[in-house]
Amino acid sequence: MTVLQVEGLQTHFFTDAGVVKAVDGVDFSLDEGEVLGLVGESGSGKSVTGFSILRLVDPPGRVVGGHIMFRGQDLAQLPESEMRRLRGNRIAMIFQDPMMTLNPVLRIDTQMIEAVRAHERVSAKAARDRAISALAKVGIPSPAERLGAYPHQFSGGMRQRVAIAIALLNGPDLIVADEPTTALDVTIQSQILAEVQDLARDTGTALIWITHDLAVVAGLADRVAVMYAGRIVETGPTDAVLAGPDHPYSVGLLGSIPGHGQRGQRLAQIPGMAPNMADLPPGCAFAPRCFRADARCRAEAPEITVRGSGGRLRCHHPMSAGEVAT
Amino acid sequence: MTGMPAPEPSRGWSADSLPWLLAGLMGVSTLALVAGPGWSSLPARVLLLLGFIALAAHLLRGKGRQFFNGPVAYLAAGSLLLLVVLALFASEIAPQNPYDLRQLDIMDGRLPPGSTTFDGAMTYRLGTDEQGRDILSGILYGLRVSLSVAIVATLVAMAIGIVVGIYAAWAGGRTEAILMRLVDLQLSFPSILVALMLMAAFGRGLDKVVIALIIVQWAYYARTVRGTALSEARKEYIDAARGLGLPVRRIIFRHLLPNCIPPLLVISTVQIANTIVLESSLSFLGVGVPITRPSLGLLIANGYDYMLSGQYWMSMYPGVALLAIVASINLVGDRLRDTLNPRLRR
Amino acid sequence: MLVYLLRRIAQSVFVALAMMVIVFFGIYMIGNPVDILISPDATPREIEETMARFGFDQPIHIQFFTFVGNALQGDLGRSFVHGESAVTLILHYMPATLELAALGLFFSILIGVPLGVYAGYKSDRWQGRAIMTGSIFGFSLPNFWVGMLLILIFAVELRWLPSTGRGDTVEVLGIRLSIFSENGLQYMILPALTLALYKASLVTRLARAGTQEALVQDYVKFARAKGVSETRILFVHVLKNIMIPIVTVLGLELGSMIAFAVVTETVFAWPGMGKLLIDSILTLDRPVIVAYLMMTVLIFIVINLVVDIVYTILDPRVRLTGGST
């Protein structure tokens, strides 16, 4: 069953320097228990997409168009008071930097109990018990004692586990995770990945995992969506996309991961810099950096084409040109 | 512009010495005015007003739009200009000379606003005090006393603070440590307490108030200047100047001072307002200006005894004037700080 | 932590000694005390006797050592006017000032924190700007002027509150306090408000700056993502963070509040040590002035220490590093 259906999402930032179209027409959908990997460079709009779903985009940013259908409700149209009731309850979020997400002067129990009691009239005792079991679930030893601690008494990995525990507290239908392991050590990163995967599978929670690291997605996501300059340029089942990427940008992203059997070879790079979002080229935004680009790419933005594998693509010159369905 | 372009960070002697010169000019002329005979000299006062306007215009060059960002800024700047003009030309504007006892009629004592003299020649628009002095005239002259005391004290304190601060920063070592300990010690006590003690020791008097207010303030400037001088001294262009073999004096005057002074002028705007408040508090407590030269604070104190019996005007109107001048200086100072120099916010 | 505390105490002792020197030599300049002690038609012999009795005939450095010796034993001389021990006199008047300052501090937090937090929350809107402009007026209003205005409005015109004096007191642990009696509290409201206004403006500005800074932090966004209400975010998450600088500054300002009480007490004829100081200055009652200054220095030193301790309690990060040593 579909949990989330995003259609034509547009989030723009109205700055003094002009309108920045950080997210400009994003579509995707997510089923129960499904894990979607949202991949892209910094500034591609992947985090803004995540924040748009929770309607937590900071001014001067604003969701200006599209629909965010969540369990039959359009979040883009929902009044703020009802949106607040959904946040942390049906839709939870995990942030990038665990050192910054917990309030440094409040104890862990305060920050966990308030997340329960913001949505349910339960006793402080019941909320506390739920906090303890959530902490245990994410692998924090002796959770009952740790509840009374302050964030600075935890390591970065532990703090991220606490943040994940907070996200799990109310058994949400959807968790948006914004690069939650980027700031952590590689070993801790893999532990947390494994745990999150188990949790999502056990509870049937759908998960949007935002990352710039395709290697993370490979082991975790059911489907992957590659974002570039505010748009999804390619999406499809993880295996299909990773095995045979069709968009030149996806190819570039994959090429820049060091893999087995490539020792001593130069890593492939995507030439050029991430685009200036306030001043995008008229045609395909990737054209200036694309080795396959021609005059058509520079003049005309490619429309979405549906691929045989159930994937979608925005490219005039896909890598496997023969398979284009339309 | 002819000649060599000045090195970018210091912006050179010519452009940035101007506010410094103007401030000095204002200080000296105000000092001359306070001293007595100067008040009668109309050209001196016109010069002072022009200096004031030129200084403001210079500080705001190219940033006028940023400064005047709303009605409050216009209102504050306008009322400040008006009050300065009123103070400077009090002797031309005021219906009565409150210092001239021959003009006072004790029979006209404590008349409510709107009363007229017995012969109907003059209307006391804001009433009279217990000696039959016209409150409006008292306010205009009092404004003059309050403003000049505060401006002189602030500018002299600033000059002393600049000298001590730069000296401390340049000398370093034990000299710096001792000077800064002294500054810390003084600043750890509220200015009102220090000023009160000084006035208790000195006794009443215009010059004594000014001296006390200088002593109260210098340490604050010394600390600020030392901080700025140290951070400026660390910048590369000072090293570059030293590397070129420029003498220390030249480095201080051409490079350090021009960079220290504009932020100080902004601070001193607000500091003038604080000084006016401090002086008026001292005068209200009876240890400030002499009875013969009442400032706004003393006028308020004089009328205070009658306020509870409903004769509010003797204290109330000088109080409104005091609020107007202090508030407009503070509002202008706040805008100046926002526009010119966000880094030295307190 | 202990080392730190000991160093702080040593520092304070040094400040106290330095102040003793400054106060003694400073006060030495105030008039000739003999003039007010002896009637003008006293014989030279009587004058000499009085001088000897108070030790004024001794060279100044001997007088200084006598002064320091006595001061260390808690004796700062006898008031010329009241004939009582100056320290006793100050201690007698001190509670009135302290309770006034404490209530003033409370008012300034009560007024300043909500205004500042709201101004920070609405910093781009007219509400925020209006509060900030208002706070400039709060800075601009001289203490005595505010007092005068409050008396005019609430005592003279509306007759809601008494104008001057202290009202009933209740004895608590041997100290006479107004704050615990309803009548006494009524007398305290106007002077305490007067004293509070300047600090309230300061608190407003601090709270606004802190709120603005805290609101863009990730932990606020995370709290929003948890579905926590805006009210709770402002008054729990933000407030707890901004209270640290506010308490630090306010604690340090308690000293200046006691100093500014000089003006407020004069306006409201409040029988505290500030009023005592002004009266003593006007009558050249040297020992009382000295005693006031020394007591104030002592209060300042204690306040600084207490602020440090409260700071460690409020900020768990400081507490941990302090506790581990």
Q: Give the highest mean pLDDT range of B191-205, B306-320, C219-233.
A: C219-233
> How many alpha carbons lie under 13 Å from residue C275 in its C-beta half-sphere?
21
Whether C286 maps to a domain, the answer reads yes
**Residue C115 — very low, low, confident or very high, per pLDDT cuts 50/70/90?**
very high
Residues A322, A319: Cα–Cα separation, whole Å: 9
Number of A to C CB contacts under 8 A, please give it.
81
Residues A194 and A299 in one domain: yes
Question: Chain A closest CA to C246's CA: distance in Å?
Answer: 15
Residues A304, A293: Cα–Cα separation, whole Å: 17
Query: Would you call A73 helix, strand, or coil by DSSP?
Result: strand
Residues A269 and A151 in one domain: no
Residue-averaged pLDDT of chain A: 82
Q: Which residues 216-245 on chain C approach chain A with CB closer than 8 angstroms? A: 216-219, 221-229, 232, 236-237, 240-241, 244
Q: Which residues 116-155 on chain A approach chain C with CB closer than 8 angstroms? A: 118-119, 150, 152-153
Segment C93-119 shows an average pLDDT of 90
Spell out the residues 6+ positions from residue C126 whose beta carbon is closer than 8 angstroms to its own: none
Q: Domain end: A139, A169, A199, which one?
A: A169
Contacts of C199 in chain B (CB under 8 A): none
Whether C144 maps to a domain, the answer reads no
Question: Chain B closest CA to C1's CA: distance in Å?
Answer: 24
Peptide bond into B98 cis (omega under 30): no
Residues A138 and A111 in one domain: yes
Checking if the pLDDT of A325 tops 70, the result is: no
**Residue A152 — very low, low, confident or very high, per pLDDT cuts 50/70/90?**
confident
> Taking CA atoms, what residue in C is nearest to B314?
C148
Q: Domain end: A117, A136, A169, which one?
A: A169
Contacts of A111 in chain C (CB under 8 A): 223
**pLDDT tens for each residue of B253-278:** 666 777 777 778 778 888 899 999 99
**Residue C325 — very low, low, confident or very high, per pLDDT cuts 50/70/90?**
very low
Which of B178, B186, B187, B197 to mutate to probe the C interface, most C CBs <10 Å? B197
Segment C152-158 shows an average pLDDT of 82
Checking if the pLDDT of C249 tops 70, the result is: yes
**Residue C155 — very low, low, confident or very high, per pLDDT cuts 50/70/90?**
confident
Residues B19, B328: Cα–Cα separation, whole Å: 21
Segment B296-309 shows an average pLDDT of 80
Please indicate whether residue B16 or residue A34 has the higher confidence score (pLDDT): A34
What is the domain-level CATH number for residue A180? 3.40.50.300
Please indicate whether residue C41 or residue A105 has the higher confidence score (pLDDT): A105
> Taking CA atoms, what residue in C is nearest to A166?
C226
Residues A222 and A303 in one domain: yes
pLDDT (0 to 100) of residue A239: 83
Answer whether B308 sits within 8 Å of C281, measured CB to CB.
no
Contacts of C320 in chain A (CB under 8 A): 150, 152-153
Contacts of C232 in chain A (CB under 8 A): 114, 118
Domain span holding position C203: 88-139+193-324
Answer whether C136 sits within 8 Å of B330, measured CB to CB.
yes
Answer whether B326 sits within 8 Å of C289, measured CB to CB.
no
Residues A254 and A293 in one domain: yes
Whether A326 maps to a domain, the answer reads no
Whether C46 maps to a domain, the answer reads no
What is the domain-level CATH number for residue C233? 1.10.3720.10
**pLDDT tens for each residue of A89-112:** 889 998 888 888 888 888 888 889
pLDDT (0 to 100) of residue A326: 37
Residues A73 and A148 in one domain: no
**Residue C91 — very low, low, confident or very high, per pLDDT cuts 50/70/90?**
confident
Whether A159 maps to a domain, the answer reads yes
Sign of CA dihedral B229, B234, B240, B243: positive
Q: Does A115 touch chain C (CB under 8 A)?
A: yes
Whether C3 maps to a domain, the answer reads no
Contacts of A115 in chain C (CB under 8 A): 226-228
Answer whether B330 sits within 8 Å of C139, measured CB to CB.
yes
**pLDDT tens for each residue of B317-337:** 888 889 899 989 988 888 888
Run of H or E residues at A22? strand A18-31
**pLDDT tens for each residue of A165-206:** 888 888 888 889 888 877 777 777 778 888 878 877 788 888
Please indicate whether residue B152 or residue A182 has the higher confidence score (pLDDT): B152
Whether C260 maps to a domain, the answer reads yes
Whether C290 maps to a domain, the answer reads yes
Beta bridge partners of A12: A62
Closest CA relative to residue A39, chosen from A256, A192, A290: A256
Q: Does A84 touch chain C (CB under 8 A)?
A: yes
Q: Which chains touch B (3 or more CB pairs under 8 A)?
A: C
Segment B55-68 shows an average pLDDT of 77
**pLDDT tens for each residue of B3-28:** 333 333 434 334 555 666 666 666 66
**CA geometry: angle at A183 spanning A178 and A185, to 5°?**
130
Q: Domain end: A169, A201, A231, which one?
A: A169
Q: Which ipTM value was assigned to this complex? A: 0.84
Q: Does A296 touch chain C (CB under 8 A)?
A: no
Question: Chain B closest CA to C228's CA: distance in Å?
Answer: 34
Least confident of A107-111, A229-233, A316-320: A316-320
Q: Does A106 touch chain C (CB under 8 A)?
A: yes
Q: Which phi and psi angles does A309 have, rounded to 5°?
A: -75, 5
pLDDT (0 to 100) of residue C107: 92
Q: Does B310 touch chain C (CB under 8 A)?
A: yes
The beta-carbon neighbor of C218 closest among A87, A97, A153 is A97
Least confident of A79-83, A306-310, B118-122, B333-337: B118-122
**pLDDT tens for each residue of C179-192:** 777 777 788 889 99
Please indicate whether residue B110 or residue B198 has the higher confidence score (pLDDT): B198
pLDDT (0 to 100) of residue C38: 61
**Residue B64 — very low, low, confident or very high, per pLDDT cuts 50/70/90?**
confident
Contacts of A93 in chain C (CB under 8 A): 222, 225
Whether A38 maps to a domain, the answer reads yes
Q: Which phi and psi angles does C127 have, rounded to 5°?
A: -60, -45
Q: Is A174:A1 a contact under the CB 8 Å cutoff?
A: no
Whether A321 maps to a domain, the answer reads no
Segment A59-84 shows an average pLDDT of 86
Checking if the pLDDT of A22 tops 70, the result is: yes
Domain span holding position A42: 2-90+170-314
Residues A193 and A255 in one domain: yes
Q: Does A97 touch chain C (CB under 8 A)?
A: yes
Whether A323 maps to a domain, the answer reads no
Residues A158 and A174 in one domain: no
Residues A233 and A245 in one domain: yes
Dihedral-angle region of residue B310 (phi above 0 means left; psi in -120 to 50 means alpha; beta otherwise): left
Q: Which residues 37-56 on chain A approach chain C with CB closer than 8 angstroms? A: 54, 56
Residue-averaged pLDDT of chain C: 80
**Residue B342 — very low, low, confident or very high, per pLDDT cuts 50/70/90?**
very low
Whether A274 maps to a domain, the answer reads yes
The beta-carbon neighbor of A101 closest among C219, C241, C244 is C219
Please indicate whether residue A258 or residue C46 has the higher confidence score (pLDDT): C46
Question: Chain A closest CA to C315's CA: distance in Å?
Answer: 7
Answer whether C228 sits within 8 Å of A102, measured CB to CB.
no
pLDDT (0 to 100) of residue B62: 73
Q: Does B300 touch chain C (CB under 8 A)?
A: yes
Q: Does A87 touch chain C (CB under 8 A)?
A: yes
Answer whether C266 sits within 8 Å of B280, measured CB to CB.
no
Residues A62 and A132 in one domain: no
Segment B44-70 shows an average pLDDT of 78
**Residue A1 — very low, low, confident or very high, per pLDDT cuts 50/70/90?**
confident
Whether C41 maps to a domain, the answer reads no
Whether C103 maps to a domain, the answer reads yes
Q: Is A180:A10 a contact under the CB 8 Å cutoff?
A: no
Q: How many domains does chain C have?
A: 1
Question: Chain B closest CA to C43's CA: distance in Å?
Answer: 28
Checking if the pLDDT of C311 tops 70, the result is: no
Q: Which residues 52-71 on chain B approach chain C with CB closer than 8 angstroms? A: 70
Q: Does A101 touch chain C (CB under 8 A)?
A: yes
Please state whether beta strands B115-116 and C170-172 pair in parallel, antiparallel, or not at all (unpaired): unpaired
Contacts of A105 in chain C (CB under 8 A): 240-241, 244, 314-316
Q: Which chains touch C (3 or more CB pairs under 8 A)?
A: A, B
Q: How many domains does chain A have?
A: 2
Q: Is B126:B303 a contact under the CB 8 Å cutoff?
A: no
The beta-carbon neighbor of C26 closest among B197, B285, B312 is B197
Checking if the pLDDT of C322 tops 50, the result is: no
Residues B221, B217: Cα–Cα separation, whole Å: 7
Residues A193 and A120 in one domain: no
Answer whether A118 sits within 8 Å of C216, measured CB to CB.
no
pLDDT (0 to 100) of residue A266: 61
Closest CA relative to residue C273, chosen from C297, C295, C301, C240: C295
pLDDT (0 to 100) of residue A78: 86
**pLDDT tens for each residue of B71-107:** 888 888 899 999 888 888 877 777 777 777 666 666 6
Residue-averaged pLDDT of chain B: 76
Q: Does B172 touch chain C (CB under 8 A)?
A: no
Give me the long-range contacts of C7-13 (CB less than 8 A, separation at least 24): C8/C304, C8/C305, C8/C308, C9/C305, C12/C301, C12/C304, C12/C305
Q: Which phi and psi angles does A10 have, rounded to 5°?
A: -130, 120
Q: Is A17:A39 a contact under the CB 8 Å cutoff?
A: no
Residues B149, B280: Cα–Cα separation, whole Å: 10
Residues A76 and A104 in one domain: no
